[in-house]
Amino acid sequence: MAVEEEGLRVFQSVKIKIGEAKNIPPYPGPNKMRDCYCTVNLDQEEVFRTKTIEKSLCPFYGEDFYCEIPRTFRHLSFYIFDRDVFRRDSSIGKVAVKKEDLQKYHGKDHWFPLQPVCADSEVQGKVHLELRLSEVITDSGVVCHKLATRVLECQDLPIVNGQCDPYAAVSLLGLSRSEAKKTKVKRKNNNPQFDEVFFFEVTKPLSYTKRQFDVEEDDVDKLALKVDLWTASNLKFGDEFLGEVRVPLRVLGQSGVHDAWYFLQPRDNSNKSVKADELGSLRLNIVYTEDHVFPTEHYNPLRDLLLQSAHFEPVSASAAHILGEVCREKQEAAVPLVRLFLHYGKIVPFLSAIAHAEISRTQDPNTIFRGNSLTSKCIDETMKLAGMHYLRVTLKPIIDEICTDHKPCEIDPVKLKESENLDTNRENLRQYVDRIFNVITSSGVSCPTVMCDIFFSLRESASSRFQVDPDVRYTAVSSFIFLRFFAPAILSPNLFHLRPHHPDPCTSRTLTLISKTIQTLGSLAKSKSANFKESYMAAFYDYFNEQKYADAVKNFLDLISSSARWDQKSIETPIMLKEGFMIKRAQGRNRFGLKNFKKRWFRLTNHEFTYHKTKGEGALCSIPIENILAVERLEEESFKMKNMFQVIQPERALYIQANNCVEARDWIDILTKVSQCNRKRLSTYHPSAFLNGHWLCCKLSADTAPGCTPCTGGLPANIQLDVDGDRETERIYSLYSTYMAKLVKMQEACGSKSVYDGPEQEEYSTFVIDDPQETYKTLRLVISAVQTLEQQHMQYKRDKFRKTKYGSQEHPIGDQSFQCYIRQQSESSTYSI
């Protein structure tokens, strides 16, 4: 979800590898071990949770998490919790990284020391204050100054233990003063409107004269206004701290007036100190990305240059191939290139061109596509994007069974447990391999068309290049579909969204053995046993040394790489797209029923959207996809609840609350995509609920009244290939900009090769340059387009810096921005004078 800024769309995303924790303090008891899990939080909002690792003080998680960030945030935080069956889970420690510091750790494994978790440091949200210094004449005729402090409102306060009943405590601090005054409590509201004014008397300086209105600077520096936010509690433990703000009165300046938004800050507890690694540490790899996307016309020159790559002669001189040459990792280039070419329907000709060029350079058919080339990385990425639902249909049911049943499958005699039988384990493993092999080789009809077209091109190029090898037509395809698609998905189902978490060690071992066997079955190698270093694997493979397995693989490969495949692609079996617990409001299908909120298990397939009392039970309600007329956010004010959205049907709307902002965005996106082609989709909707006989948004009393707000739209109907072409072009521009020095070096290499036409200099030997003149021309055009976009980005940054108003609702004052605010106010005063 993009944020609009001055004609730009700003996208935020984060990719996190949660590795492991170490040296967690032992449990204070005889057992000492802990059952730990880790959460990922945007400020105080949990958006992801790992599985629980039991009985360990050095838990290994090995989990990946990616999300588009749909809102502003200040900290990306990670909490380690100790699970407690009888009480609330206790927090052991946390890692909190400020948004502005995320680039320091970009893409690098880093050990972060865990810090203590206390209420005084768990803050989020902002407060709007107005200060006014006035001259007052008392009844006795004495002239003094009074400070009027107006607490207007707060936004985005955290919800503590399921509730937020906030109030503000205001006090004036100095060398000897501390007066506290409180607002009223606002019940069940994390965006409270206070609008209350408090007065504080400010001592008049001895040097006061009629000519000088404001308090002298020396005295002002000794005073500060302090605003504490609390949530009221009926429990004996007292009220919970939400955050504080300290405003030095010198901000009043000459005008005597100050009106600004402030970020809430943690309470100063400098007397509490924790030694490094006292609570343990957590290994993380964080990749935070911000894409600033201009209107589409800005990208025309670079995008056109990239899209010409599919038909460029030679392809090594094309803009896309050059990107692969200059990037440090081919994967960097492959991800945005594949998404761009998929979006514009040019992925098959592009991949055919670069694959044909790579095959032409390959001398041995046994090494075809073995390296991490641009071709192999691009085909990998295409299979991940286009084949995700194919994987779910094919593998997910049996992978779920393996992870649930925990049947022993260890066949290494050295690793065998005393209670296990080797023959039983072999039979368990053989049955799993047989079943997975059968579902794969019978799934050819379900293979996505784009993958089949690519495989056809690979087969034709390989057969033409190595005409004496009859099996190369199969190995060229199997090296991708088995080696790089099915085998990795079996090995790490969580990375392919087949399972929510990394499997436990025992299940992971079973999946490793299955993956190895399936990979070998699909390779069609001449000597199967030679593929295994371990003797126990070679012995196990004897079960599958039958011609029927090789024939099944060849028939499957022929089907998915044949140009004569039928066009019918509809899959009768429902594809499960997303599921999980959420809270729904009763739809009012019974006229006199209570419209309360209940937790339900939701399930979305390409056929219907259902909810159930719990997972695995029958559906309480089923909404056919064709009955979904719109899916939109629901304004928070409707039920005073965050992260709500509505699924609009012909007769009524279903109101749902997701667990967090990331889940809400994911559900809205997938529901919108799957229903995008419905003929009766609405063009307008009501952003608020129908309550107490009228719509809260437009006040119309008829529940059938047409919507008052245009529906959000423009999403493609294709669930698998939802791509923003401009955003991908922006990412490619960023890569070119990062590797500009290599682009220039490649230009030099082209010049050297054209002039001398002799042995290649060593510093240029890493580049593939088949046609120096054409490559040089492309490089010149690429550099020109990149420099133009670079100038536009620089201009945007200058304009944004000039227009940024610190203290506004969009840019509240925080620790790091206070000096910017003072400088901005000083410059403004100088300018006005």
Q: pLDDT tens, 326-370?
A: 999 999 999 999 999 999 989 999 999 999 999 998 888 877 887
Strand order of the β-sheet with 224-231 is: 178-182, 166-173, 224-231, 240-248
Q: How far apart are CA 482 and CA 475, in angstroms?
A: 10
Average pLDDT of the residues in 743-755: 83
Q: What is the pLDDT of residue 595?
A: 63
User: Is the confidence at residue 143, as pLDDT, over 60?
Assistant: yes
CATH classification (class only), 3-116+279-289 = mainly beta
User: Is the confidence at residue 138, as pLDDT, over 80?
Assistant: no
Q: How far apart are CA 701 and CA 699, in angstroms?
A: 6
Q: How far apart are CA 106 and CA 75, in angstroms?
A: 15
Q: What is the pLDDT of residue 59?
A: 94
User: Is the confidence at residue 56, as pLDDT, over 60?
Assistant: yes
**Could you tell me which residues come within 8 angstroms of residue 321 by beta carbon, excluding any fewer than 6 positions away?**
309, 312, 315, 354, 374, 768
Average pLDDT of the residues in 379-405: 92
CB 21 within 8 Å of CB 34: no
Question: 126-206+220-263: same fold as 3-116+279-289?
Answer: yes
Q: What is the pLDDT of residue 693?
A: 86
Who wins on pLDDT, 564 or 180?
180
For the domain made up of 576-710, give the CATH fold.
Answer: PH-domain like (2.30.29)
Nearest to 459 by CA among 444, 447, 445, 477: 477
Strand-strand pairing, 644-648 and 684-685: unpaired
User: Is the confidence at residue 572, as pLDDT, over 50?
Assistant: no
Q: How far apart are CA 103 and CA 634, in angstroms?
A: 34
Assign 720 a pLDDT band (cuts: 50, 70, 90): very low
Q: What is the pLDDT of residue 736?
A: 95
Q: Is 556 helix (H, G, I), strand (E, B) or coil?
A: helix
Lowest mean pLDDT among 136-145, 229-238, 241-250: 136-145
Q: Is 22 helix (H, G, I), strand (E, B) or coil?
A: strand
DSSP 730-756: HHHHHHHHHTHHHHHHHHHHHHHHHHH
Q: What is the pLDDT of residues 666-679, one digit of tens each?
A: 899 888 877 877 77
Detail the DSSP E strand segments found in 317-376.
Answer: none
What residue spans define the domains of the chain? 3-116+279-289, 126-206+220-263, 364-561, 576-710
Map 788-803 to HEC letters: HHHHHHHHHHHHHHHH
Who wins on pLDDT, 562 or 89?
89
CATH 1.10.506.10 holds for 364-561: yes
Lowest mean pLDDT among 235-244, 330-339, 402-411: 235-244
Map 338-354 to HEC letters: HHHHHHCCCHHHHHHHH
Q: What is the pLDDT of residues 8-25, one digit of tens each?
A: 889 999 999 999 999 999
* Cα diameter, the chain: 112
Q: What is the pLDDT of residues 445-473, one digit of tens each?
A: 788 888 989 999 999 999 998 888 888 88
For the chain, give the percent of residues with pLDDT over 70.
85
* Omega before 349 within 30 of 0, i.e. cis: no
Lowest mean pLDDT among 119-128, 715-724, 725-734, 750-759: 715-724
CATH 2.60.40.150 holds for 126-206+220-263: yes
Q: What is the pLDDT of residue 593?
A: 44
Q: How many residues are given for the chain?
A: 833
Who wins on pLDDT, 17 or 204?
17
Q: How far apart are CA 826 and CA 254, in angstroms?
A: 10
User: On the CB side of 28, how many CA atoms lie within 13 Å of its CA?
Assistant: 2
Q: Is 532 helix (H, G, I), strand (E, B) or coil?
A: coil
Average pLDDT across the chain, whole number? 85
Average pLDDT of the residues in 367-374: 83
Q: Which of 116-120, 139-143, 416-420 has the highest mean pLDDT?
A: 416-420
Q: What is the pLDDT of residues 148-197, one digit of tens each?
A: 999 999 998 887 777 788 999 999 887 556 678 999 999 888 899 999 99
CB 417 within 8 Å of CB 501: no
User: Is the confidence at residue 528, as pLDDT, over 60?
Assistant: no
Buried b (16+ CB within 10 A) or exposed e, 445-477: ebbbebbbbbbbbbbbbbbebbeebebbbbbbb
Q: What is the pLDDT of residue 712?
A: 78
Q: Is 555 helix (H, G, I), strand (E, B) or coil?
A: helix
Who wins on pLDDT, 567 or 543?
543
User: Is the confidence at residue 34, as pLDDT, over 60?
Assistant: yes
User: Is the confidence at residue 32, as pLDDT, over 50?
Assistant: yes
Average pLDDT of the residues in 565-570: 38
Average pLDDT of the residues in 72-77: 90
User: Is the confidence at residue 382, as pLDDT, over 90?
Assistant: yes
Q: What is the pLDDT of residue 458?
A: 93
Q: What is the pLDDT of residue 205?
A: 47
Average pLDDT of the residues in 699-728: 74
Who wins on pLDDT, 483 or 365?
483
Q: What is the pLDDT of residue 209?
A: 47
For the chain, give the percent of residues with pLDDT over 90.
48
Q: Which region holds residue 225: left if phi is over 0, alpha if psi is between -120 and 50, else beta?
A: beta
Q: What is the pLDDT of residue 229?
A: 92
**Could you tell me which residues come within 8 angstroms of residue 745 by beta carbon, excluding any fewer than 6 positions away?**
763, 764
Average pLDDT of the residues in 253-271: 80
Average pLDDT of the residues in 211-215: 42
Assign 719 a pLDDT band (cuts: 50, 70, 90): very low
Q: What is the pLDDT of residue 762?
A: 56
- Encoded tokens for 182: 């409180």
Assign 271 a pLDDT band (cuts: 50, 70, 90): very low
